[in-house]
Each structure stands twice: as structure tokens, then as C-alpha cells.
Amino acid sequence: MSQSILFLAHVSEAGNTLPKVSYEVLGAAVKLTKQLGARLTIGLIGADVAAAAETVAAAGAERILAVAGPEFASARYPSDAAAAEALCRAAGAELILAPATSRLMRVLAGVAHRLNGCVDTHVTSLESVNGELRATRWHYRQRIEAVIRRDARPWIVLLESGCEAAWAGASGVAKVEQIPVTLPQAATRTVVSGVRAPKSDAQTIRPDANLLFVAGAGWTKKQADGKTHIDQAETLILEFLRASGASLGGSKSLVDQTGESQAVLGFMTHLNQVGQTGSTPRHPKGLSACCHGEEPHVVGWRFINERRAVNLDPNCGWARGKADVLYVADAFEVLAKLNAILAQRSRTSADAVLQP
Ligand SMILES: Cc1cc2nc3c(=O)[nH]c(=O)nc-3n(C[C@H](O)[C@H](O)[C@H](O)COP(=O)(O)OP(=O)(O)OC[C@H]3O[C@@H](n4cnc5c(N)ncnc54)[C@H](O)[C@@H]3O)c2cc1C
């Protein structure tokens, strides 16, 4: 009998689609299903999964299962774990692929235990080599890549975002089988009473952006005139982020200055830090300015495909093979010029739209 794969996902809380990473994982599941000649089942969790199910109706799944209802609208360990467990049992799959969203990351290790199976998180690829499944993930801050093979089944694999092309297909009519789950009272004790999020203009971390812009401590250092120019740095960077839609990263030295109560860029927090003790974002392109390019920082650029840097120092870390292109230039001048070009472009495209 052929293998069975379950693609497990939850509906995004904001709308009726799935989070973007889910479509990437569905892409991986569809590819693997074809490679292995397996059967694909889709399992969805949410308040109402009908609209989301239509977006994946053409993915070639034999069955679309759902655990749905108001009690499954928000992330909550007992209800999410019960829903995921019921879907896994109903699908009877040997391999369960799920997106590494915070909601599923929290529950699927527990679900694997309940199913007497195993789980791997932070997986970046999953492929079949001569019929044997191999998952890869990074260790030691993205310095060592491990290949994982497992005999235990079911095997739950949580895939990271940005590693696979998103599955794209036309929406269609979806036949959804509802899987009943009765929650004990204790499972609904925790209630989400509201969401506090930063104001949208303060939101500088944009995982889906094409470009990662990284600011280093140089922005706060004394410049050629012997003075610092923090206000100017803030204005230039914010204008660039607005005009380019880039995501903002920071070096450790820069974000640490907040804690040391020095004058800093007001919008930069520890969440922006990229590197060994920071994050490892995934973007097609990266531009670093006023950052030296030291190894503990650059290890956070592991998954940036094309790297460019602006530094006054022609002998900086980037120059030693860490960037594809290094501009030996003053970042204040470069960003002012870039902002002028971006403003000119948006005026030209606005004019083009306004032309009769
Ligand atoms: C265990 C460990 C973990 C670490 N983890 C991290 C981490 O996660 N992330 C991280 O970032 N760092 C990390 N570090 C620190 C890291 O080694 C570096 O110290 C840090 O990244 C340096 O930051 P920086 O380049 O912004 O500052 P600096 O080293 O001070 O460099 C500033 C640069 O700005 C340039 N500059 C100044 N003015 C201009 C201008 N007008 N135009 C252009 N260039 C200009 C200068 O030439 C200089 O190269 C870690 C260190 C250790 C030991």
C-alpha cells in the first residue's frame, strides 16, 4: 500500500486563507506526494475553514479534513493539540508536514508524543533519496547542517518559511469532511481577550519583504565632521524603509546601545538583531550599511541570497568575501541618493497612473 502524507495547517486568524508559509509547505507536500507515489490528505484547523479549503482544493488531495468551530479560532494548546491529534488519527498518515508557525510549533511535539510518533522542527528541506526520506536542518546558529533519517512513524515535520516555492493553484469547490472533536471543559479555560500589536508604521520587521536592510553601529558613530548625526540617520533609514518596503535588521552593537542608554535609533529593538545571537531571516536580497560585517553578525545572513554592503572601510569584514558587492562609500550619502531615486520613481509611476 502506498504511503500517506498529511499536510496539516491552521487558518490565519486575520482572515480566511492560510498563512503564506502554509502554501510553501503544501508545495513541498505535493512534490513529495508525486515523488513517492503517495496519497495526500489535507487537514485544516480554524473557526471556519471553508474559504481556506477552496484555496487548496486543486492541490490533488484525496481528502480534505477539518476540525472547525469557534473554539478552534485562536491559538490555545489544549484545543489545538486535540484538533491536530484528531486530524492525524483520521488521516492515518505516516508523514505529517506542517508549517513552522508559532501556533503549530507549540503543539506538534506534544501531538507526536500522543501518537507515539516523532517530530522534527526547524526543518529546511525534506526529500526522498532512493525512496528514503531525508530532512535537513541547521544547528549551532546555522553553521552545521544535519541530515535526519527516521524509522519511527508517524513522523511530524515542521518546515521553516522561505525554503520552498509556494504552491499556487486556482481556487475551487472543496469537499470538506468535518472531524468531530469534543473538548473537555478544562481545554477551553484559556481565552484570548484581545491582541496588542505595534502600530503598523512602527512595524519594521517584514518577513515577506524582498530586501533586508541592516543598519550597523556606524550610524551612531562620529562622522567626518567629528559629530554624530543620529537624527539624520533616523530620517534617512525610515524614509528608505517606507519607500522600499524593506525589512529592518540591526547589528548587535547597534541594538545593544538601547540597553546602555546611549543615543540610538528609536525604532531599533533587540527583535531586529540579525546574527549568531539574533535572527537568521530569509530574503532574496540584503543591503547592509554602517556595519562592519563580523562573523557573529554575518552568520545571520546565511539565507540571504544576494548580499551588498556600504562601508567607509575598504578593509571591513564584508570586503573579505562576505558580501557579493561592497560599496566603499559614506552610507549617509548613499541612502540620501537612494531615497531621491526611489522618490523620483514613485513620482514617475504616480504620473503614469494619472496620465489620461
Ligand atoms: C558570542 C558573540 C555573539 C555575537 N552575536 C552577534 C549577533 O547576533 N549579531 C551581531 O550583529 N553581532 C554579534 N556579535 C558582535 C559582533 O562580533 C560585532 O561586534 C558586531 O556585529 C559589530 O557591529 P557593527 O558592525 O554594527 O559595529 P562596528 O564594529 O562598530 O562597525 C561600524 C562600522 O560602520 C562603519 N561606518 C561608520 N560610519 C560610516 C559611514 N558614514 N558610512 C559607511 N560606513 C560607516 C565603520 O567603518 C565600521 O566598519 C557577537 C559577538 C560575540 C562574541
Tell me: the pLDDT tens digits for 29-85? Answer: 999 999 999 999 999 999 999 999 999 999 999 999 999 999 999 999 999 999 999
Provide CATH 3.40.50.1220 ranges for the chain: 211-354
Architecture of domain 211-354: 3-Layer(aba) Sandwich (3.40)
pLDDT at 140: 83
Q: Indicate whether 13 pLDDT > 90.
A: no
What's the pTM?
Answer: 0.79
Are the CB atoms for 5 and 157 separated by under 8 Å?
no
Ligand 1 centroid to residue 123 C-alpha, Å: 29
Share of the chain above pLDDT 70, in %: 94
pLDDT grade for 265, boundaries at 50, 70 and 90: confident
pLDDT grade for 131, boundaries at 50, 70 and 90: confident
Ligand 1 centroid to residue 70 C-alpha, Å: 48
Determine whether the shortest distance from the Cβ of 249 to ligand 1 is under 6 A: no
Who contacts 203 (Cβ-Cβ below 8 Å, separation ≥6)? 197
Determine whether the shortest distance from the Cβ of 46 to ligand 1 is under 6 A: no
> Which of 3.40.50.10470, 3.30.460.20, 3.90.105.10, 3.40.50.620 would CATH assign to domain 4-188?
3.40.50.620
Q: 265: burial class by Cβ within 10 Å (0-12, 13-18, 19+)?
A: buried
331 CA closest ligand 1 atom index: 42
Provide CATH 3.40.50.620 ranges for the chain: 4-188
Beta partners for residue 99, in sequence order: 159
316 CA closest ligand 1 atom index: 49
What's the rounded Cα separation, in Å, for the pair 47 and 281? 30
Q: To test the ligand 1 pocket, which listed residue (220, 270, 280, 290) has its Cβ within 8 A of the most ligand atoms?
A: 290
